[in-house]
Amino acid sequence: MDESLSPAIHNAAFGALGLDWTYLTLPVPPGKLRRAIRELRATPHFAGANVTMPHKEGVVRLMDEVTEDAARLRAVNTIVVGVGGLAGHNTDAPGFTRFLEEDAGFDPAGRTALILGAGGAARACALSLARGGASSVTVAARDAGRAAAALRTLEGIPVRAVAISWSDAASVSADVVVNATPVTDPRQLPVPEIHSGQLVVDLWYRPMVTPLVAVAREAGAAAFTGLGLLVHQAALSFELWTGQAAPLPAMSAAALAALAVRATEEDGPPHQ
């Protein structure tokens, strides 16, 4: 889902703080990951890198050390180059926590959560909610085995973790519902009845108001796309690389501007 927003977000942050840094995209074809990591080690002046799919899991074994979150999630999305080698981090779970606190104003303590999907983003959201004190975290996936595997991320955390079938999700009562699947049409999602007082998060952020967010807002729920998570996890990466507080307003503005440009390009010029 990240595509090419990261250069705009990070370069805006570097500019806001007057840092002579540049964020570049370096496509890595399948089968070339090990070579790319060797080149990262050998190239001077790199402070680190982000890792996107499909390499987040494969890069774990190529790190000199990994953080607890990267180990739990079995995925690295941020590499920090240091004197001791390459450290693998995962900023998705703390990024979601920051989004909940700072953007959504939602405290998960004692609340119930339903997550649709069992991939890396779903695992990160589940970890964030469990650490935040959620009373229960339910994961629904088309593959029941994947749902159960996703919940192994929460081992050792005092939370009621439940894996259910995709079709059963519509009957779950939840204070927060997270769509962490590639499905964008709410009619194809087993979303419970949405009502006022709920929080609905659709991790898609294109369009800027996704169909699920529109439906949820119409029903009176607080609803957000995944743009907040994207910006907050990027801010955490920025802080790891630079040691400075991320300029969130500049990063958010850059993300919104980039999305607006894309929307204009996709829609084409207005009809005369």
* pLDDT digit string, tens, across residues 230-252: 999 999 999 999 999 999 999 99
Q: Is 32 part of the annotated catalytic residue set?
A: no
pLDDT at residue number 272:
28
pLDDT at residue number 30:
86
* pLDDT digit string, tens, across residues 57-102: 999 999 999 999 999 999 999 999 998 899 999 999 999 999 999 9
pLDDT at residue number 263:
74
pLDDT at residue number 266:
61
The residues pairing with 200 across neighbouring beta strands, listed in sequence order, are: 177, 223
* pLDDT digit string, tens, across residues 122-148: 999 999 999 999 999 999 999 989 999
- How far apart CA 230 and CA 74 sit, in angstroms, is 19
pLDDT at 188 over 80: yes
Domain regions of the chain by residue span: 5-91+233-267, 93-228
What CATH topology corresponds to 5-91+233-267?
A: Rossmann fold (3.40.50)
- How far apart CA 26 and CA 150 sit, in angstroms, is 29
State the CB neighbour count (10 A cutoff) for residue 261. Answer: 11
pLDDT at residue number 215:
97
pLDDT at 211 over 80: yes
* 8 Å CB contact between 51 and 59: yes
pLDDT at residue number 270:
36
Write down how long the chain is: 272
- What's the average model confidence in pLDDT over 160-181? 96
Given 10, 55, 56, 98, the catalytic residue: 56
- How far apart CA 168 and CA 234 sit, in angstroms, is 34
pLDDT band for 271, please (50, 70, 90 cuts): very low
- How far apart CA 86 and CA 97 sit, in angstroms, is 25
pLDDT at 37 over 80: yes
> Looking at domain 93-228, does it have CATH number 3.40.50.720?
yes
pLDDT at residue number 151:
96
Of 40, 29, 175, 195, the C-alpha closest to 114 is 175
pLDDT at residue number 179:
98
Please name the residue that has the structure tokens 């998570």.
229
pLDDT at residue number 4:
74
